[in-house]
Amino acid sequence: MTERAALRTYECDGLAAYRCTPGLVVLPRSTDEVAYVVRRCHDLSVPFVARGSGTGLSGGALPLGDGVLIVLSRMTRLLDADIDDQRAVVEPGVVNLDVTRAVQADGFYYAPDPSSQQVCSIGGNVAENSGGAHCLKYGFTVNHVTGLEVVMPDGSVERFGGRAPDPPGYDVVGAFVGSEGTLGIATEVTVRLLRKPETVQTLLAGFRTMDDAGRAVSAIIGAGVVPAAVEMMDALAVEAAEAAVSCAYPEGAGAVLIVELDGHEVEVAEQLATVEAFCRDAGAFELRIAADDEQRGQIWRGRKSAFAAVGRISPDYIVQDGVVPRTSLPQVLRDIAALSKETGIRVANVFHAGDGNLHPLVLFDETRAETERAEEVSSRILDLCIEHGGSITGEHGVGADKKRHMGRMYSDVDLDVMQMVRCAFDPFGLCNPGKVFPTPRLCGERPGRRTGVHPLQEAGLADLF
């Protein structure tokens, strides 16, 4: 694609605050076509960026004005489903949920379940090491990918791993998963298939306060129960979900907890009784257990729609993603509430409570000049995560958005080591440059995202649209 209007379709991913019209967009259908494009880029020193479905929330697939955007969404073939060995081999543009759809009749499924799973691609999941509600028990994408075919940044094609788990030597698959499109382009992915559990039970609990719900989570995990998922939402997030999808969560709840248990029937029945007891002890005033798939779907509808639902209660919002050790959750949530009060910026909290992965939704109104304050709150939440021994991202990646925070978490030596790994794959820095690693700012430029009119706009040399 070379037409300006068509190119603009690809100017951003799910983080629309960052936009850039790509120089050229290509939509290859095979590994050979990807390799051809990458080889040409390499020969001509043209940078390139891979894109799956463009649902990323950190600007990872943000294109380059002088580069090529390689969109994998036409590579959607399921190449093999080996039920006996519990492996599927898929092209990178295959949508996450389609892997499960392809094997569910045989009683199998693909476990990592980002909330975007109806549209996001396996290639994007690999690049971001995506997680989801059920990753507490089953692990992240990296735990479910055993092999990769990769078009390297010079256009050569390599294979790493295979169908067997844990091959000898360096774990190149482990290094590639989560590398955010900076080490090459995955053109074939071998994933694990899991047998569907015998029983699933889903419980919804309403609490008056987040502290009460937090106590229930600590008690459940502390007792050695490993639920498939433990998700929590605060009152503001519940209000948004209610407005968007009428999920009928307990009225007046200051916190809602969703606990899903799966496994053998007897084991799940016993664990369900334990979870119910812990919830009541912690002050749950309403408990519901899904009687069938429809009720289970109703319980999950509110949680799965939470990010988009926030648009119902705020014209603008930032989806933040950080991690803290699970035991620090109550303190960090109190600190976020204090920060919100201090700045007058509302924060809705949705999170994977079992593994401490927070998704604070920072609400603001651009027309009321709240953007800068909201960004400040969002950034200070990351500081809180670091202070408590956590991380600046749990599952959405660093991308373009958080590269400036990397120096807060890592020393220069750490960053140099990572750059050496990157250079081993991509010595000329052509593969998704300008992402993940902080770039030095110009002299006199203040840190943070640029606000106000750019000097080039002022001089009439550039337009912002």
Ligand X SMILES: Cc1cc2nc3c(=O)[nH]c(=O)nc-3n(C[C@H](O)[C@H](O)[C@H](O)COP(=O)(O)OP(=O)(O)OC[C@H]3O[C@@H](n4cnc5c(N)ncnc54)[C@H](O)[C@@H]3O)c2cc1C
373 vs 404 by CB, closer to ligand X: 404
Smallest CA-to-CA distance from 372 within 361, 382, 362 is with: 362
Q: Which of the ranges 50-58, 233-241, 442-450, 456-464 carries the binding residues for ligand X, by CB under 6 A?
A: 50-58
Q: How far is the CB of 465 from ligand X (least distance, A)?
A: 22
Q: Binder to ligand X among 7, 10, 11, 13 (CB under 6 A)?
A: 13
- Interface with ligand X, residue 27, by CB under 6 A: no
Q: How far is the CB of 82 from ligand X (least distance, A)?
A: 21
Buried b / exposed e along 131-163 (16+ C-beta atoms within 10 A): bbbbbbbbebbbbbbbbbbbbbbbbebeebbee
- Interface with ligand X, residue 379, by CB under 6 A: no
Q: How far is the CB of 361 from ligand X (least distance, A)?
A: 11
**Calpha distance 185→176 (Å, rounded):** 10
Q: Which residue is nearest to ligand X (CB)?
A: 124
Q: Binder to ligand X among 10, 11, 14, 230 (CB under 6 A)?
A: 14
The helices-and-strands tally (H runs, E runs) of the chain is 16, 18
- Interface with ligand X, residue 231, by CB under 6 A: no
Q: How far is the CB of 319 from ligand X (least distance, A)?
A: 8
Size of interface with ligand X, in residues (CB under 6 A):
37
Residues 287-346 that bind ligand X (CB under 6 A): 307-308
SS3 of residue 282 by DSSP: coil
- Tell me which amino acid residue 405 is: H
DSSP labels, 394-429: SSS--TTTSGGGHHHHS-HHHHHHHHHHHHHH-TT-
SS3 of residue 20 by DSSP: coil
**Calpha distance 256→254 (Å, rounded):** 7
Smallest CA-to-CA distance from 177 within 189, 165, 159, 166 is with: 189
282 vs 436 by CB, closer to ligand X: 436
- Interface with ligand X, residue 123, by CB under 6 A: yes
64 vs 72 by CB, closer to ligand X: 72
- Interface with ligand X, residue 63, by CB under 6 A: no
180 vs 375 by CB, closer to ligand X: 180
Residues 130-169 that bind ligand X (CB under 6 A): 130-132
- 118-121 long-range contacts (CB < 8 A, ≥24 apart) are 119/53, 119/55, 119/95, 120/52, 120/53, 120/55, 120/95, 120/96, 121/52, 121/53, 121/72, 121/73, 121/92, 121/93, 121/94, 121/95, 121/96
182 vs 202 by CB, closer to ligand X: 182
- List residues binding ligand X (CB under 6 A): 13-14, 49-57, 60-61, 72, 92, 114-116, 120-121, 123-125, 127-128, 130-132, 180-181, 185-186, 307-308, 395-396, 432
